[in-house]
Structure 1
Amino acid sequence: MQQYKQERAPIYEALERFKRMRVVPFDVPGHKRGKGNPELTAFLGEACMQVDVNSMKPLDNLCHPVSVIKEAEELAADAFGAAHAFFMVGGTTSAVQSMVLAACKKGDKIILPRNVHRSVINALILCGALPVYVNPATDQRLGIALGMPLGEVEKAIRENPDAKAILVNNPTYYGICSNLKAITDLAHRHGMLVLVDEAHGTHFYFGKNLPPSAMSVGADMSSVSMHKSGGSLTQSSFLLAGPSVNEGYLRQIINLTQTTSGSYLLLSSLDLSRKNLALHGAEIFQKVVDLAQYARDEINAIGDYYAYSKELINGDSIYDFDVTKLSVNTLGIGLAGIEVYDILRDEYDIQTEFGDLGNVLAYVSVGDRERDLERLVSAFAEIRRRYKRDKTGMLQHEYITPQVVIPPQKAFYSEKRSVPIGQSEGKICTEFVMCYPPGIPILAPGERVTREILAYIAYAKEKGCSLTGTEDPDIHYLNVLEGE
């Protein structure tokens, strides 16, 4: 068995060698190591611009790696306990879509929770696969969607034995984990692939006493946002695959949509971040766990807020909880999460990850210091003192079970017309409506517009959520199926 040296960083090392070669560039990019764009070079730094280069023999090629990128991918696979790892420079969106496109063809069924990221439904639009939704349980107090109950997954498999794959969010944005091992074993007994959107779970591979990772329970493919908790540059991710996946075919699928001009800034950041986590991940994420727990305890001591954790675990729809997630329910102070999010940014210069109708997520990482968390806790206390109000009339549900009428691809490409959103009730939507972040659709193509959904959209607008996905940027109009 090959022994991998995790202290190596082959792409980074190749770039360092390349810098010493003093190559005269008559290739792209046209800024020519920064000399052609002095203002950009002054902004980003000469060191950055010198390694913003194109594929060439000494640096390998992302579309068909044979040397340093191949070696870096083998090191990543070893570090994550996968059979194969692919460097992704189109974000985890690209990785998620590659998983779905590799598992499903037009007309194939895929079992998945409806509270997926929009990238999953986008993949269904691209390939024409048919979603079989397992509606997640919801927590009435927190107003959030939970994991996939095992019994519901079993029911979906029984009713759709021809489904090709099951996709699982693990963890959710809020830190909720499904029983991934049981779901994987169940799917494999029925000949189905298991795909895991692990965008928020990089640390599961390296931290101690955290929920199990997708590769450790035998899932077939997983998409990992290395840039979220792993320390790499924004837009860089890994697509991991198990031994049963055809590496060559998956590479072909990735190359359908991934750029042929992979950024070496992103690639080297993945390489160095993998090295860092492989060597120091356990201590890094122990620090993150401790920081998050400190903040959670302090916020809960304020009163009215609820920073939730493992006490939610119920053995099924909340099988486990990611304790690095500092998810805070704000309904007790009479403010929507998005309102607290806005106040933190506008009045305290604190940028949290997102706020929805009932919760705020503060993303804690190794880059944080205890004094940063103290500042956040103090701001929460002051917001409660200054802004607390009666919570009567606040909308609590973050998830509405959709009425799926036709497949996403058919709806998206059908003849459509634009109607005032107030006149869209009962019609079939042909576009997305979602709050971003987190990017989970309120409405997706092919779903019925209901009175409850329209009330939710109006409430989200009123509270200041950033609504996206529609052709009309102001969301006064909605595209619906022609003839509806």
Structure 2
Amino acid sequence: MTETAPVQIDAFFILHSARADHWRGALNAAESWHRGESGAADVQASLAEVKIIEEFHAFPGTAVMARLDQTIASGDARATANLIRRISEAIVTRHEHADSMGTSGTDSEAFEDLLPVSLVGGARRRPSFETLFVTAQPPSRWGAMSEEIRQLRRREDLFEYDAVFVGSFEDAVCAAIVNPRIAAVVTTDDMAYRSRHDAPVLRSLLDPILKYAGGLASGIDLSRVLKTIRPELDLYVLSDRNIEALAGQEGGNYARRIFYAVEEPLELHLAILEGIAARYETPFFDNLKRYAQRPVGTFHALPIARGKSVFASDWISDMGEFYGINLFLAESSATTGGLDSLLEPTGNIKKAQEYAARAFGADHVFFVTNGTSTSNKMVVQALIKPGDIAIVDRNCHKSHHYGMVLSGGQPLYVEAFPLTRYSMYGAVPLAEIKRAMLALRDEGRLDRLRLLDLTNCTFDGHMYNTRRVMEECLAIKPDLIFLWDEAWSGFAHWSPFLRPRTAMGAAAAIEEWMASDEAVAAYEQQQAELGEAPSTDLLLETRLVPDPRKIRLRVYQTNSTHKSMSAIRQGSMVLVHDVDFAHVESQFHEAVFTHASTSPNQQLIASLDVARRQMELEGYGLVMNAISIALKIRTAVNRHPLISRYFRILGADELIPAEFRPSGFTDFLSPGVTWGNIAKAMREDEFYLDPTRMTLVCGTAGFDGTQFKGILANRYNIQVNKTSRNSVLFQSNINNTRSDIAHLVRVLVEIASEIDARLRSGGGGVREAFDARVKSLMEDVPDLPNFSRFHDAFRGNAGEMTGEGDMRTAFYGAYDEAGCEYVRLASPEIDSRLESGPDLVSANFVIPYPPGFPIMVPGQVLTRETIDFMRKLDVKEIHGYEAARGLKLLRADVLGNPVN
């Protein structure tokens, strides 16, 4: 954005809500003037803060802003307040359409209903958006040009758009960043580069990339930059030069169409609408709506289809009233008659998946209706065969571990850095991954390594430097496959600050680098510097460069679409960017057949289709709003004089050790932090904190995580779903509003006030008990146990003791009850065996929740650290553990001959 001084980080990430706040502030100033409490100068001062931003929006537009200036100059306080109120209300309610303001601006103009049309039963308004025009025409011509564009509208058009005009490259970039309603860009081939405003932070980012040396900038360069920031935008280039050559040059494919100057304004108009229509189309959902309107006779096994058994019933008709008729009209177990099969899609589901691949920058996308737990097992089964080695984060979701059991893959566990104070783990340092790979290389077993399986981002918001991880791993093993579980961060594709950290974003960057002239040179230069036989220590210390000629780029990403986009629960996607997918496609389909239901939910599939549509058309603005909500919550909690006495939200400096933050970035709210600092941290740091995930420490208020979660849910109807010993996790999403912030802040104030009152009136004993409770939660925390090792019975053969283990054999060994035993956790036998043997070997997965990672896996030798952790746990939900019977162990006397 434009600025005259470095912009604080919240001034960028909360642009959308800040814009509304500025207008509300202007309204307050105008109403104060109308009441005679202030003057016109105060209104003008409040408007000065938004005038630059409004240059990049079609609404309210230059004509209305000029009318507002005239109204203020005329001294009409009442008319000024009324006009600002209408503008403010339109922005707050997202009714930003130039037509809503009319042209006369008189007080008597009726303002359109502020409620969404769908809630009041009126006719649905055509969706509207804004198109950015980058032009060499002077600003004096922009009003006339806008009117010419408006005259191109036709009754048949499915959508409406208003025009935003800028005159330079920098202003175009600013507009795309600032205005989320921009959905298409029309640019000239040559344009002025510099904005008339000062933009030092923007220039520090753009100038090195573009090697700017003054003068003009090209439309192709602008297209490239805009595609990096907002890849969903449709870009159109106007040129009066040899457009045939322009279309064929490198980068010409960034533009959806290239037109010869403005010889075909109607064609350009139609092209803009066609581009939006291509994103708006939802093949499966559209078809399902048509199916629901057909008179269908159902002779298949789905009685609720068409709803007759529901609405005709005296006993369950209330279900029909609750859900509505369309849910039942759109149900069917048939895969013909206009519908399609999720298992073997050939029609509209196949097309919907192709659209999703386009949206997420993948080669292929597969819809999954059983959640990302199933998506992960599908990918692992498709890529891993018995005996293959997979490097796996021990703290990843249980579905990955079970995938190894099902596939017969042998996990080589690597550990994430611990955050012991908060009873959680972070992410796996790259050095640990490289060390494991180099050990396999030195042992001559690197050929058995097939997969690296990591979680990105973690439950608590740790995002990997995915590009660096993949590049350095590919430098050691060029055909390594990557599975990134991005269940919690599917939305990240729609943020320019988060997208590079996604699997698909990093894969695209690596692919582009591989095709560049610099790639081979960079590899060969490093090889010359490393020498013929570099030591393991040197390789661990070096940021390795892969050989682009040998890389087989194979990247898989799973995302829980329902966790961050508008999909129904259990809606998930598998994203594929695999140069060798043709070699595994048949086994991938076998994995789909294995895990996917033959009766998938039609509404789930439709919601995945619709979620993609929404994100392609408004995802950028929605995600920016989610980030702004999170930053406002961080500010409201950490800077509140009462709340911050007992609660705080952790920053990156507390969740990511300094060694993994070479940029020096500490927190989004640190003084002096700009969005340039954020971009630097995103590019350089090994781990980056997703701002939408907020770890709120509650142990300092005397609550453990489970207890505080219950208070929030039962007393205040606030839901969270992840806790630790002394924290709860809040996460903002595209559904949150400013009202949600106010509700949360009010609740935290009330709880903090109750604590304050209790401590003031309760005397020394109450204070001592409170301090002891806080100390127990915040200081007397159990050490987090690392994975120990697999028992020798499950590690290699012929005396070869390997780091990975045959977990599948151990898992099925537990099916033989005679080969298992139970030992209670408090039994002295455990302590005796820890001291003198025989080994305690877990027969199954044991997963306390929280923290939610397996502290025991089948075949693992249990250590004192693991047992101590279990004994100190005060959570009630421990998957795989029966307190009445104790730990289920594989008997030592049968481990020499485990059950197959």
TM above 0.5, yes or no, is yes
Q: Pick closer, same or farther for the CA change 1:475–1:308 going to 2, 3 Å.
A: farther
Q: Find out whether 1:122 has 2:402 as its counterpart.
A: yes
CA 1:359–1:476: 2 relative to 1, 3 Å: farther
Is the alpha carbon distance of 1:214 and 1:483 closer, same or farther for their aligned partners in structure 2, counting shifts above 3 Å? same
Q: Residue 243 of structure 1: which of 545, 570, 578 is its match?
A: 578
Q: Deviations over 1:343-366 (max 9, x none)?
A: 212222211122121321123212
Cα 1:270–1:315 shift into 2, 3 Å: farther
Query: Which residue of 358, 382, 391 corresponds with 2:750?
Result: 382
The answer as to 2:738 corresponding to 1:370 is yes
Contact persistence 1:221–1:242 (CA under 8 A)? yes
The verdict on how the C-alpha distance between 1:142 and 1:467 changes in structure 2, with shifts beyond 3 A counting, is same
Deviation at residue 465 of structure 1 after TM alignment: 4.3
- CA offsets per residue over residues 378-433 of structure 1, 9 Å max, x none? 32343344456432233535842022324321221113233323347352111222
Q: 2:841 corresponds to which residue?
A: 428
| Residues 16-415 of structure 1 aligned to structure 2 (within 5 Å) | 16-37=289-310, 38=313, 39=316, 40-57=319-336, 58-160=338-440, 161=446, 162-189=448-475, 190=477, 191-210=479-498, 212-218=501-507, 220-244=555-579, 245-246=581-582, 247-301=585-639, 302-303=643-644, 304-311=646-653, 312-313=655-656, 314=658, 316=660, 319-387=687-755, 389-390=771-772, 391-394=774-777, 395-396=780-781, 399-405=784-790, 406=794, 407-414=806-813, 415=816
Q: Deviations over 1:29-88 (max 9, x none)?
A: 122322224524344332212222224221110111101000000000010000000000
Aligned residues: 480
Which residue identity is paired with 1:16? K
Aligned 8 A contact 2:389 2:412 in 1 = yes
Note if contact 2:382-2:590 (Cα within 8 Å) is conserved in structure 1. Answer: no
Q: TM-score, normalised by structure 2?
A: 0.51
Q: Secondary structure at the match of 1:403?
A: coil
Contact 1:173 1:438 in 2 (8 A): no
Separation in 1, partners of 2:560, 2:451: 21
Does 2:869 match 1:456? yes
Q: CA RMSD in A?
A: 2.4
Higher helix share: 2
Q: Which amino acid aligns with 1:308?
A: L
Q: Secondary structure at the match of 1:164?
A: strand
| Alignment partners' CA distance in 1, 2:822 and 2:689 | 42
Q: Do the aligned residues in 1 keep the contact of 2:282 with 2:613 (CA within 8 Å)?
A: yes
Residue 484 of structure 2 aligns to a residue whose secondary structure is strand
Name which one, 1 or 2, has greater alpha-carbon Rg: 2
In the alignment, the residues of structure 1 paired with residue 851 and residue 329 of structure 2 have an alpha-carbon distance, to the nearest angstrom, of 35
Tell me, yes or no, if the aligned pair for 1:187 and 1:194 is still in contact at 8 Å: no
Q: Is the CA contact (8 Å cut-off) linking 1:145 and 1:398 kept in structure 2?
A: no
Amino acid at match of 1:402: F
Secondary structure in 2 aligned to 1:112? Answer: strand
Structure 1 stretch 297-306 or stretch 90-99: which is displaced more?
297-306
Once the two structures are TM-superposed, the CA of residue 263 in structure 1 deviates from its matched residue by 0.9
The letter of the residue matching 2:775 is T
Does the CA-based 8 Å contact 2:649-2:694 persist in structure 1?
yes
Higher RCO, Cα 8 Å, sep 6+: 1
Deviation of 1:192 (Å): 0.9
Deviates more, 1:254-263 or 1:408-417: 408-417
Equivalent-residue separation in structure 1 for 2:470 and 2:578 (angstroms):
15
Q: Tell me, yes or no, if the aligned pair for 2:386 and 2:409 is still in contact at 8 Å.
A: yes
1:123 deviates by 0.5
TM-score scaled to structure 1, two decimals?
A: 0.92
Q: CA deviation at 1:174?
A: 0.4
Q: Distance in 2 between matches of 1:432 and 1:119?
A: 11
Sort the Cα spacing of 1:315 and 1:450 in 2 relative to 1 into closer, same or farther, 3 A. Answer: closer
CA apart distance, 1:451:
3.9
Query: Is the CA contact 2:705–2:726 (under 8 Å) kept in the aligned structure 1?
Result: yes
- Matched letter for residue 887 of structure 2: L
Structure 1 residue 234: deviation in Å? 0.6
Taking a change above 3 Å as real, the CA distance of residues 420 and 452 of structure 1, as seen in their structure-2 partners, is same
CA distance in 1, matches of 2:618, 2:871: 47
Preserved CA contact (<8 Å) 2:380 2:400: yes
Paired with 2:737 and 2:885, the residues of 1 have a C-alpha distance of: 43
* Aligned twin of 2:110: none
Deviation at 1:89, TM superposition (A): 0.7
* One of 876, 880, 884 as aligned partner of 1:469: 880
| 361-370 vs 136-145, which moves further | 136-145
Q: Secondary structure of the equivalent of 1:76?
A: helix
Partners of 1:334 and 1:118 in 2: CA distance:
31
Whether contact under 8 Å (1:344, 1:350) holds in the other structure is: yes
1:315 Cα offset (Å)? 6.3
Moved more, 359-368 or 125-134: 359-368
1:478 aligns with 2:887: yes
For each residue in 1:205-248, what CA deviation from the matched residue of structure 2 results, as whole angstroms up to 9, or x when unmatched? 11232252111112610110000011201111000000322344
Q: Distance in 1 between matches of 2:783 and 2:395?
A: 10
CA distance in 2, matches of 1:374, 1:444: 43
> Take 1:71 and 1:170, find their aligned partners in 2: how far apart are those partners?
28
In 2, Cα distance between equivalents of 1:27 and 1:315: 61
The range that moved more, 2-11 or 83-92, is 2-11
Whether the aligned pair in 2 keeps the contact of 1:356 and 1:465 (CA below 8 Å) is no
C-alpha distance in 2, partners of 1:292/1:451? 40
Distance 1:89 1:397, change over 3 A: farther
Counterpart residue identity of residue 809, structure 2 = K
- Secondary structure at the residue paired with 2:728? strand
The letter of the residue matching 2:571 is S
Gaps (5+ residues) in structure 1? none
1:339, 1:355 within 8 Å by CA — same for their partners in 2?
Answer: no
Q: Provide, for residues 82-138 of structure 1, a one-character-per-residue CA deviation record: whole Å limited to 9, x for no partner.
A: 000000011000111111112211111100111111101011111111111111111
1:168 alignment partner, SS class: strand
User: Which deviations, in whole Å up to 9, do the C-alpha atoms of 1:414-471 show, x marking residues without a partner?
Assistant: 13233323347352111222234664223222223344333433443x3x4432234x
> Cα deviations across residues 262-291 of structure 1 (Å, max 9, x unaligned)?
111110010001110111110000110010
Which deviates further from its counterpart, 420-429 or 350-359? Answer: 420-429
